[in-house]
Structure 1
Amino acid sequence: MSSSASVIVADTVRGHHHLKIDGYSVTKFALPRESALRSRPFSVGGHRWVIEYYPNGNLFSWSWMDHISLHLALDDVVAGKVTAQVQFGFKAGEEEEEEHALFLELKPGEVEAARGGVWRCPQFVSKETLEASTHLKDDSFTIRCDISVFNAFSAEEGPPPSPAPRSIPVPPSDLCQQLGDLLAAKKGADVVFEVGGETFSAHRWLLAAWSPVFSAELFGSMRESGPGVVRVADMDAQVFKALLRFVYTDSWPPETAEGEEFAMAQHLLVAADKYSLKRLKLICEDKLCKNIAAGTAASILTLAEVHHCHELKGACFHFLSSPKNLTAAMAGDDFENLRSSFPSLVKELIAKCSADA
C-alpha cells in the first residue's frame, strides 16, 4: 500500500521598522490637526513603505483630537495587489526582550495596494495614556511597526506519514498472585507463627515491609517459644490467616462467606490496628460503615472508639442522630454495654444528637 503527503506553504516575508518621535511635545503643539509627519521610506517584502504619524489624530477617529493616529502607506508603484498584515506597538525597553515589544493592545489589519495602499490606525494610543506611561521618556518614544507581506501560496511535497506504531500486549501485574503462591508453598519461609493451636509459615522481610510492628518484633527483641516460632495470643487462627493473606496479596480473604464478612471485618480491624496495617484497617472500617444498623451501631461505635477510627465513629453518630434509629439501638444489649463501658462516649453522642435536633 502506497502513501504520500503534501504541504501548503505560505510565502511570507516579515520585517519591522522603528520610528522614534524625538520631541513629542513639540509635535503635539506645533502640528495642526490632521497633519502628519512621515518616516523615511523602508523596505519589507520587496516593497517600500512609510509610516505617517498624526500627533493630534485624524478624521478617521471619532475622538481623533485625543489620540495619536498612525498610517502605514505603500510608497511604491505596484502593478498588482500587495497583501500584508500590520501591527503597531511600542519598542521594547532595554530591560525587555525584543519579542515582547508590543505592549499596548495590538492594532492588526491588512493593507492592499488595490485599496489605496494605506492601512489606518486612527486610535493608536490616547495622548493621556502615553503621557502617563513609561514609554514616553525624555519627551520621546519609539513606535514599532511589524509587517508581514504575503507573496504566494505553494504546494510542496511533504514527508510521507509515519506508520502507526505497533503495540505489544502487556498482561496485568500478577505480583499479588505470585506472592500468594509463595505464602501457600512456604518456600523460603523463615518464621512460624503459632495462633489458636495452628501454625503459619511466613517471610520476615515481607511482613516487616508492610508493618512497623512486625519489623520491630521480627528483627528486634522478639520473644520466641522455639527457633523461629512466634506465639500470637488473643487472636483467632482464621483471623490471622486472613491477615497474612492480605499482607501477601493486598486483597480481602476470598473464602469469607457473605454472612461472615461483618464478623471478620470486626476481628480484622482489631488485628490491623495491632500490627499498624493502615490500608487493611481502612478496608475494615469501610465494610463496617456499610453495615451500620440499629442492631450493630453500638458495637461498631465501641470498636471505633477503642481503635481510634474517627471516620467510622462519625458514621455511627450520623446514623444515631435520627431519633428513630437511636431509640431502636438503645433497646439492644450492645448499647447497654456501651453505656456502662464508655459513659463519656454516650454523653458525647447525646450532645451530638441534641445539637443536630
Structure 2
Amino acid sequence: MPTKTHVKTASTCHPPETTQGTHIFDILGYSKHRGMGAHYSIRSGVFSVAGHSWVIFFYPDSYGEEAGGFDFVSAYLRLLSTRGKVRASCDLRLVNPATGASTSVHPTLVTVREFDPDGENHKACHCLCMISRSELEGTYVKNDRLTMECVVTVRKEPRVSKSRTFPSVKVPQSNLKRQLAGLLESREGADVTFSVAGETFAAHKIVLAMRSPVFKAELCGPMREVGSQPIVIEDMQPDVFRAMLYFIYTDSMDHDDDLARDYHSKNCDMVRYLLVAADRYAIERLKLICQSILCNNLDVQNVATTLALADQHHCDKLKHACIEFMSCSENMEDIVLTKGYMELARNSPSVLADAMLKMSNVSKKLVRRALQNAPDSA
C-alpha cells in the first residue's frame, strides 16, 4: 500500500503599506475664471505621491450635463503616470478663509479606488467634489481667492512572504502485516504444530486463540490436547489450511499470486474450501469475504452448487443472493440442466423446495414493482 505524503506550507500577508501626500492648490482671481463654459478647467501643477504624478482639474462653471447646469462647480483628480494601475483614495478639503481650517467636501466618500492611466478616460480620473456655487462662494471664497487641499493616499500591494515548508516527521506505513506473516513463516516462538494431509504447520497458540474461538477452546480450554505431537487436521487440504493460517495472522487473503487470481476468477474452488474452513473455525470475517467473492462470481453453472454450500454452512446472505440470481435469470432452463442443480435436487430437496418458494415470492415482488412503475395506460 503506497505511503501517503502530506506537506504543510505557510505564507504571511503583511498589511499593505500606504504613502500619503497633500497638494495645496490656490486659485487667485477666482471670478476671472467664471463664464468660460462648462468644459473650461483650471489645472493645478503636477505633484507626486508615491512616485506617481497627479494633477487636479477644477471646473468653475461645472462640468457635464450631470451637474445640472452652471449652479455647481466640480474638481477632478487625474493620474498622469503610465507605470500601471494605482490604488488610491483622495480627499478634497476646502479652506475656510475666516478660520484657516480645512473641511472635507465628501468625508463619507473617501474610499480606495483603482486609477488606470491606460484605460478609458473615466478610469484615470476621480471626481473630488461637486458642490453648489452658492455654498462654495459664500463660505470658501474670500478676496477672490479659493484654496483647496487635496490629500492623496496611495495604497501599495500587500507584501506576501515566500511560502515556507513546515518541519515534519515522516511516519512509515505500518508493517505489522509483514511482521506477522514473517512470524508465521519463520516459526520463531511457535508452540503448536498441525499435521494436514502429511504436511506439518507450526503456529502460535496465542494468535490462533485470539482470532478463532474454536482454536481458543481446543488450545487453551479444559479439553486442550497436551503433548508435543502435532494436532491432526482431518478433511482439509494443506493449501487451504495454509491460506487460513495466513489470514489468521494477517487478516488478508493475498498470500500468493496464484491464490489471489483464484479469489477473483470464475474458478472459485479454493474460495469454497476456505469458506468451509472459516465456518469450521468460526473465523467470521474470512467467512464473509468468501461469501462476497462467491456472490460476485455467480453464474448459471455454479449458482446451484453455491446455494447448497450456503445452506450447509449457514450463509444466509449468500443463500439469498443465489435465490435472487435464479429468480432474475433468463437461463433457468440451463440452470436446471447443471450438475450442481441435479445434486441439489437429489441430496437437498428441502433446500430446493424452499428456494423455489422464495423464488416465487421474489418473482411476484418483481412483477408487482414493474406494474407500479409502469405508465398509466390510456
Normalising by the smaller structure, the TM-score range is 0.5 to 0.7
Aligned to 1:7: 15
| Residues 109-258 of structure 1 mapped to structure 2, 5 A cutoff | 163-224=164-225, 226-227=227-228, 229-252=230-253, 253-254=255-256, 255-256=258-259, 258=262
Q: Give distance in 1, aligned partners of 2:245 and 2:272.
A: 16
| Residues 61-140 of structure 1 mapped to structure 2, 5 A cutoff | 81=106, 83=108
Asked whether the equivalents of residues 319 and 325 of structure 1 are also in contact (C-alpha less than 8 Å), the reply is no
* Off by >6 Å, runs of 4+ in structure 1: 152-159
3-state SS in 1 of match to 2:300: coil
Residue 281 of structure 1, aligned match among 278, 287, 290: 287
Q: Give distance in 2, aligned partners of 1:340 and 1:249.
A: 40
Asked whether the equivalents of residues 224 and 231 of structure 1 are also in contact (C-alpha less than 8 Å), the reply is no
Q: If the length of structure 1 is used for normalisation, what is the TM-score?
A: 0.54
- Deviation, structure 1 residue 159: 9.7
CA deviation string 1:179-230 (max 9, x = no partner): 1111111000011112222221001111122222222222112442732632
Residue 332 of structure 1, aligned match among 328, 338, 351: 338
Q: 1:161 to 1:80 in 2, by over 3 A?
A: farther
Aligned to 2:268: 262
Amino acid corresponding to residue 270 of structure 2 in structure 1: M
Residue 292 of structure 1, aligned match among 293, 298, 308: 298
Q: If the length of structure 2 is used for normalisation, what is the TM-score?
A: 0.51
Give % identity. Answer: 39
3-state SS in 2 of match to 1:7: coil
Q: 1:338 to 1:225 in 2, by over 3 A?
A: farther
Q: 1:328 to 1:225 in 2, by over 3 A?
A: farther
CA deviation string 1:239-281 (max 9, x = no partner): 1111001112222232426479511100100111121212211
Larger-gyration structure (1/2) = 2
3-state SS in 2 of match to 1:298: helix
CA deviation string 1:40-60 (max 9, x = no partner): xxxxxxxxxxxxxxxxxxxxx
Q: 1:154 to 1:268 in 2, by over 3 A?
A: same
Q: 1:5 to 1:169 in 2, by over 3 A?
A: same
1:303 aligns with 2:309: yes
Backbone CA RMSD of aligned residues: 3.7
Q: Give distance in 1, aligned partners of 2:241 and 2:12.
A: 66
Q: Which runs of 5+ in 2 are unaligned?
A: 1-10, 18-102, 110-128, 130-152, 368-378
Amino acid corresponding to residue 194 of structure 1 in structure 2: S
- Deviation, structure 1 residue 311: 2.1
| Residues 10-49 of structure 1 mapped to structure 2, 5 A cutoff | none
Instruction: Tell me how many residue pairs correspond in the alignment.
Output: 228
Q: Which runs of 5+ in 1 are unaligned?
A: 10-77, 85-113, 115-151
Q: Give distance in 2, aligned partners of 1:305 and 1:335.
A: 14
Q: Give distance in 2, aligned partners of 1:250 and 1:198.
A: 23
1:348 aligns with 2:354: yes
